[in-house]
Amino acid sequence: MDNKKLKIIGKNRLDGSVTISGAKNAALPGLAALTLSSGKIKISNVPNVNDVRIMIDALQSIGGDISFDNNIINAELKNIKSGVFLGDNVGSIRASILFLGPMLARNGYVRVSQPGGCPIGHRGVDFHFEGLKKMGAQIEIIGNDIIGKTNGLIGVDYTFPGKTVTGTENLIMAASLANGDSILRNSALEPEIDDLIDLLNKMGAKIRRDGDNILIKGKTSLGDAVHEIIPDRIEMGTYVIAGCFADNNIIVKNTRPELIENLLDILRKMGVKINIKNSDIIISPNKQMSPIKLETMPYPGFPTDLQAQLMALLTQTDGVSQIKESIFNNRFNHANELNKMGANIVLSKDIAQITGVTQFKGNKTVYATDLRASAALVLGALIADGQTIINNASQLFRGYENLPQKLSKLGADIAVIN
């Protein structure tokens, strides 16, 4: 990715409203699911972000007829070239792993680079492989490539050893075209998984969630569908947290507040005044915020994808807060970067201790290590005295649609520079 930078002059008054885009982590499995059908599929509210564009390129590279305009995907994957190597680009994102299940189900062969994605620690895929092998797939690693083959997938009763979002999505897609019925136990509960189930059922699949068990009736083929991606709960949470730094009411529009209930509870406990009006979340300015202790958990617990953004906010609470990161084993890379701006964050293993209130000063050398870390640095820069340059800002454009434009509309002084 080219090395864009963000230049932010802090302490501008933030005011007004921001509209949430479609969920990246629902759009990515939705795109992979297109390989399951030779029908005509229209998906709207797809965020125009880098990871989505990489998945679209990959689908075109295997012969997919797919267009993407005004956040709408129109696709028809009548004949997929099998055995095609889904190029290096796909290997740069985690979602590449999502081609395994559907392409094994559709044409019995797939070759894809080992998944990349954010450097936030161990990104296992053993549960994906274990489940697919139980369904009758052979999985081989040759160099940096994963090669999957099968003479036909069979329905399975599989219990995930641990909660995995893309692992659950992969096996749901594989089981949709398997021979026989499947039950996936100890499945992840993230809303993006249910959005994928909704899309697949519209394509003719037969999938039902019963708590953390997912029941799938294998079909012989899937067809046409029209679907709208759910709003992005992590983008929602990011702008709600940004609203806590503002001097006036900030309105976050086109939300599904129930998807970030855990964050809203935590912010209310910290003393933030939050009102909900239909799909609008209104955050009122507050000067005094209290510190808090929390742990990241699988959904519906506090999401690891909002941990970095909340850490930035906790630097402005009066006292000592603590975050325990329980999902990934290296997801505090943003702490040092926030400390460069004036934060007081001490790390020990999976615990970050944040002491506030600290004054932030602009810094020209902060570095965006991963997607959500880059959002935390933007939040820190908004409240810093003077100019901040966020290096490696391309990370941000992997998952936030039009972030500079959305923040400028709220009054921030932010620009993309090379």
- Cα–Cα dist 114/120, whole Å: 16
Taking CB under 6 A as the criterion, the residue among 25, 45, 262, 315 binding ligand EPZ is 25
**Cis link prior to 346 (omega < 30° from 0)?**
no
- Cα–Cα dist 157/300, whole Å: 24
| In the complex, least distance from residue 97 CB atom to ligand EPZ, rounded to whole angstroms | 7
| In the complex, least distance from residue 100 CB atom to ligand EPZ, rounded to whole angstroms | 11
Which segments of 218-331 are extended strands (E)? 225-228, 250-253, 273-277, 280-284, 293-295, 319-324
| In the complex, least distance from residue 111 CB atom to ligand EPZ, rounded to whole angstroms | 19
- The answer to whether 118 is a known catalytic residue is yes
> Residue 94, interface with ligand EPZ (CB under 6 A)?
yes
- Cα–Cα dist 236/188, whole Å: 21
> Residue 403, interface with ligand EPZ (CB under 6 A)?
no
Exposure of 193 in the CB half-sphere (CA atoms within 13 A): 25
Closest-by-Cβ residue to ligand EPZ is: 124
Give Dmax over CA atoms of the chain in angstroms: 63
- Taken in order 274, 277, 278, 280, the sign of the CA dihedral is negative
Taking CB under 6 A as the criterion, the residue among 399, 403, 410, 414 binding ligand EPZ is 399
CB closer to ligand EPZ, 25 vs 255: 25
- Cα–Cα dist 330/241, whole Å: 23
Determine the interface stretch with ligand EPZ among 30-38, 116-124, 240-248, 333-341 (rule: CB under 6 A): 116-124
- Cα–Cα dist 223/194, whole Å: 19
Determine the interface stretch with ligand EPZ among 68-76, 163-171, 196-204, 213-221 (rule: CB under 6 A): 163-171
Q: Hunting for tokens 């028809």 — which residue is that?
A: 76
> Residue 366, interface with ligand EPZ (CB under 6 A)?
no
Taking CB under 6 A as the criterion, the residue among 21, 262, 304, 316 binding ligand EPZ is 304
Determine the interface stretch with ligand EPZ among 117-125, 209-217, 314-322, 342-350 (rule: CB under 6 A): 117-125
CB closer to ligand EPZ, 122 vs 287: 122
Tell me the site size for ligand EPZ, rule CB under 6 A: 25
CB closer to ligand EPZ, 93 vs 274: 93
Task: List the structure tokens of 10.
Answer: 């802090």
| In the complex, least distance from residue 296 CB atom to ligand EPZ, rounded to whole angstroms | 9
- Cα–Cα dist 108/228, whole Å: 29
Specify whether the CB–CB gap between 264 and 274 falls below 8 A.
Answer: yes
Count other C-beta atoms under 10 Å from residue 16's C-beta.
12
CB closer to ligand EPZ, 234 vs 246: 234
How does strand 181-185 pair with strand 213-217?
antiparallel
| In the complex, least distance from residue 167 CB atom to ligand EPZ, rounded to whole angstroms | 5
Taking CB under 6 A as the criterion, the residue among 16, 162, 180, 319 binding ligand EPZ is 162
CB closer to ligand EPZ, 124 vs 180: 124
Q: Which residues of 184-211 are buried (b: 16+ CB within 10 A; e: fewer)?
A: beebbbbbbbebbbbbbbbbbbebeeee
> Residue 287, interface with ligand EPZ (CB under 6 A)?
no
| In the complex, least distance from residue 342 CB atom to ligand EPZ, rounded to whole angstroms | 25
| In the complex, least distance from residue 185 CB atom to ligand EPZ, rounded to whole angstroms | 15
- Cα–Cα dist 59/57, whole Å: 5
In DSSP terms, which residues pair with 161 in a beta bridge? none
> Residue 167, interface with ligand EPZ (CB under 6 A)?
yes
User: Which residue type is seen at 407?
Assistant: L
- The site string for ligand EPZ over 120-159 (x = CB under 6 A, - otherwise) reads --xxxxxxx-------------------------------
Order of strands across the sheet that contains 206-210? 157-159, 181-185, 213-217, 206-210
Taking CB under 6 A as the criterion, the residue among 250, 327, 396, 403 binding ligand EPZ is 327
Specify whether the CB–CB gap between 10 and 385 falls below 8 A.
Answer: yes
| In the complex, least distance from residue 372 CB atom to ligand EPZ, rounded to whole angstroms | 5
Taking CB under 6 A as the criterion, the residue among 56, 95, 267, 366 binding ligand EPZ is 95
Q: Which of 112, 118, 132, 414 is catalytic?
A: 118
Residues of this chain that interact with ligand EPZ (CB under 6 A) are: 25, 28, 94-95, 118, 122-128, 162, 164-167, 188, 304-305, 327-328, 371-372, 399
Positions marked catalytic: 118
